[in-house]
Amino acid sequence: MSEQPHISIRGVTMAYGPRLIQRDLSFDVNRGDIFVIMGGSGCGKSTLLKHMLGLIQPAAGDILYNGKSFTRADPASRDAMRRGWGITYQSGGLFSSMTVGENVTLPMQLYTRYSEAEIRDVVNYKLALVGLAGYQSYYPSEISGGMRKRAALARAIALDPDILFFDEPSAGLDPISSSLLDELIVQLKESIGATVVMVTHELPSIFSIANNSVYLDANSKTMIAYGNPRELRDHSDQPVVRQFLAREASAAAENAQ
Amino acid sequence: MNPQAPAYELIEDAPHALRLTLSGDWVQAQAIPDFPALRSELLALSPEQLAVDGSSLGEWDSLLMAFLLQCHSFCSAEQIPFAAHNLPGSANRLLEVATAVPSHQRPQEVRPPLLERLNPLVALRSLWADLRESVAFLGDLGIGLARLVSGRANTRFSDFRHFCYQAGPDAFAIISLTSILVGMILAYLGAVQLKLFGAEIYVADLVLIGMLREMGVLMTAVVMAGRTGAAYAAQLGTMQTNEEIDAITTMGVSPVEFLVLPRVLALLVMLPLLTIYADLLGVIGGAIVAGGMGITMLQYSAQIQDAISLTHFMVGLSKSLVFAVLIAVAGCRSGMQSGRGSAAVGNAATDAVVTAIVYLIVADAAMNIFYQQLGI
């Protein structure tokens, strides 16, 4: 492959002090991928995402974006790299003291040279993209959980990012809302051409939208599978991964004993 | 490659069939055409159909999409058929996604007419409602207390001990500082006046009586309202936000017994102790100033011994009990009734401190009048 991977994880070890979370993680996320970080509860999925976002420093190894080291970058260039990202957090991360419209407006006020009127129009457009047109004046507490997730998505795409990060996008949503959200993620990804990285263990969304993935194992504390989740389900040499993806709870329980 | 200025042109292909051609680079930092201008043109021409042609479009970003979305919404509002041709593929898709869900209309809130909002009766009624809520909260607290006394309450001793530690020993440093300074301030205040009569020695009486009856307890209570009252409101408000209070209620445990009682009792025990400590340090602060005025320690302490009486001490102590309940109730009530979200918790904490200080001053004045009438 001649094309440079969009994100590269090189020998990353994650630890909270002496407590090791995961070690020797090395994988690539290609441009335009919908990449899923999978694994059982407590294996360090969200921790890995926080490392990729630079909220936590890796204990060892490097994370590269477009071939440039993020881990070793100085704070100013880190901020510049982060500007090309859109992030939605597990519980949305919307500012509760601002209306939905103000939440989406904020990044544009900070980082673009749009005029007031342009910002207003673009905010309307971004909210229309996530199906929330007309909800500008609502506070996050006045809308439902699914709408909050979509509002957070509107804020994440405010600056037309290259990479979209999602931490459990469909956690706490009903199957219909969660599949609508998945569909929306795919549509947006295709139209704005972004790379999507998400942490999830919702099997339906993994199979319907992901085309690349990594599986973190809690016992051996490292990654044990990498590739398209559909292929991993059928052909992985790791029984744990096949069980996880085929949802064989009883077999997994047997294994644990 | 120089960016080209973005522009649009309206062409009438057939009678009442308009074509909107877009050209140039519709990106940030370019002078993007205003939709309102196009809107008035469209209104003047009143077309029966509108087709957007993007064949000579250069670079584009969200600004183009925002413009197109406005065109689309205008057409659907005016019931004009809208079509888009030769747009870049992804722009077409984005427009489809953006127009998939119709815009939501926020229901109009009915604002009461001006006359009604200015009506003093309405304000009075809301004050009455507020007062009733306070009384109801006190009632709940009373019920909880009664259950505690009869040994049926779900109040944990470990919680009580924890809050005692927070409200007592943790506050020592700040109470030490404020009470020494208040003692000194009282002494200075008296020194100037008493010197006129050559009665400097009575500074000791002034400081002692002032601290014991009034300043010791009031300053301690104000500091604790800002420190502990606000903390109570923030803790309970955050618990409300995290649905912890709902969890406690559905476990069949009364939140008043489980959360409020230990806090109120902790402050009820600690505030009198802190007041005694503050009184002592205030008198020492007075001694420092008295020493500076040429009164010896021996004179000062002899004068203090003459002036001290159990009555003054008990007046201060009785006030501290009342103040403790007021601070804890104001803090816990604001926290329990807090809304959900970070802004609401902030409001609850502010509310707790403001209410507590108002309560304190009103109660202090009332108790002073009461004791005055009794001649204590």
Digit-by-digit pLDDT tens for chain B (376 residues) are 577 888 888 888 877 788 888 888 888 777 888 888 888 888 888 888 888 888 888 888 888 888 888 888 888 888 888 888 888 878 888 888 888 888 888 887 777 777 777 778 888 888 888 788 888 888 999 999 999 999 888 888 899 999 999 998 999 999 999 999 999 999 999 988 998 998 889 999 999 999 999 999 999 999 999 999 999 999 999 999 888 888 888 888 889 999 999 999 999 999 999 999 999 999 999 999 999 988 999 999 999 999 999 999 999 999 999 999 999 999 999 999 888 878 889 999 999 999 999 999 999 999 999 999 998 8
Chain B residues with CB under 8 Å of A112 CB are 28
Question: B97: Cβ–Cβ under 8 A, 6 or more apart, which residues?
Answer: A129, A184, A187, A188, A191
Task: Say whether pLDDT at A98 is over 50.
Answer: yes
How sure is the predictor about A104, in pLDDT bands with cuts at 50, 70 and 90? very high
pLDDT of residue B352: 93
Closest CA of chain A from B191, distance in Å: 51
Which has more pLDDT, B205 or A91?
A: B205
ipTM confidence score: 0.76
**What is the three-class DSSP state of A116?**
helix
Q: How many helices (H) and strands (E) are present in chain A, helices listed first? A: 10, 10
Task: Say whether pLDDT at A253 is over 50.
Answer: no
Specify whether the CB–CB gap between A240 and A248 falls below 8 A: no
- Mean pLDDT confidence for A124-129: 90
For chain B, first and last CA: distance in Å? 92
> In one letter, which amino acid is B158?
S
Chain B residues with CB under 8 Å of A192 CB are 90, 94
Is any Cβ of chain A less than 8 angstroms from the Cβ of B69? Answer: yes
Facing A137 at nearest CB: one of B67, B69, B106: B106
Is any Cβ of chain B less than 8 angstroms from the Cβ of A144? Answer: no
Closest CA of chain B from A243, distance in Å: 34
Calpha distance B137→B140 (Å, rounded): 5
pLDDT 10s digits, A20-73: 888 889 999 998 889 999 888 888 888 899 899 888 888 889 999 988 898 888
Closest CA of chain A from B355, distance in Å: 23
CB-CB under 8 Å, A96 with B341 = yes
CB-CB under 8 Å, B102 with A125 = no
The CA distances from residue B185 to B191, B205, B285, in Å, are: 10, 14, 8
Q: Angle at Cα A142 formed by Cα A86 and Cα A164, nearest 5°?
A: 10
pLDDT of residue B184: 96
* Sign for the pseudo-dihedral over CA of B168, B174, B179, B182: negative
Structural domains present in chain B: 7-98 (3.30.750.24), 154-374 (no CATH)
pLDDT of residue B1: 55
Residue position matching structure tokens 């129009």: A121
- Going by the DSSP 8-state scheme, the letter that residue A140 receives in this structure is G
Residue position matching structure tokens 């340090």: B281
Question: B21: Cβ–Cβ under 8 A, 6 or more apart, which residues?
Answer: B8, B9, B11, B53, B54, B55, B56
Facing B69 at nearest CB: one of A117, A118, A124: A124
Rounded to an integer, what is the distance from CA B336 to the centroid of its chain? 13
pLDDT 10s digits, A176-206: 888 888 888 888 888 778 899 999 888 888 8
For chain A, first and last CA: distance in Å? 43
Tokens of A257: 């004993």
The CA distances from residue A195 to A9, A35, A162, A192, in Å, are: 15, 8, 6, 9
Facing A141 at nearest CB: one of B67, B90, B341: B341
CB-CB under 8 Å, A139 with B70 = no
CA nearest to A241, candidates A20, A8, A227, A199? A227
Q: Tally Cβ neighbours within 10 Å of residue B91.
A: 19
Chain B residues with CB under 8 Å of A96 CB are 340-344
pLDDT of residue B43: 84
- Mean pLDDT confidence for A236-247: 85
Residue B46 phi/psi, 5-degree rounding, is 35, 70
Specify whether the CB–CB gap between A100 and A132 falls below 8 A: yes
Sheet of strand B82-85: strand arrangement: B7-14, B17-26, B49-60, B82-85
Question: B25: Cβ–Cβ under 8 A, 6 or more apart, which residues?
Answer: B3, B4, B5, B6, B58, B59, B60
Closest chain B residue to A121, measured at CA: B66
Q: How many residues does chain B have?
A: 376
Facing A191 at nearest CB: one of B35, B93, B341: B93
Mean pLDDT of chain A: 85
- Going by the DSSP 8-state scheme, the letter that residue A162 receives in this structure is S
Residues 215-234 of A with CB under 8 A from B: none
Q: Which of A125, A130, A141, A153 to mutate to test the interface with B (most CBs of B within 10 A)?
A: A125
Is any Cβ of chain B less than 8 angstroms from the Cβ of A87? Answer: no
Q: Which of B60, B74, B92, B101 to mutate to test the interface with A (most CBs of A within 10 A)?
A: B101
pLDDT of residue A248: 63
Closest CA of chain A from B297, distance in Å: 57
Residues 83-122 of B with CB under 8 A from A: 90-91, 93-94, 97-106
CA nearest to A100, candidates A72, A131, A79? A131
**What is the three-class DSSP state of A98?**
coil
Closest CA of chain A from B131, distance in Å: 27
Is this prediction's pTM over 0.80? no
CB-CB under 8 Å, A141 with B101 = no
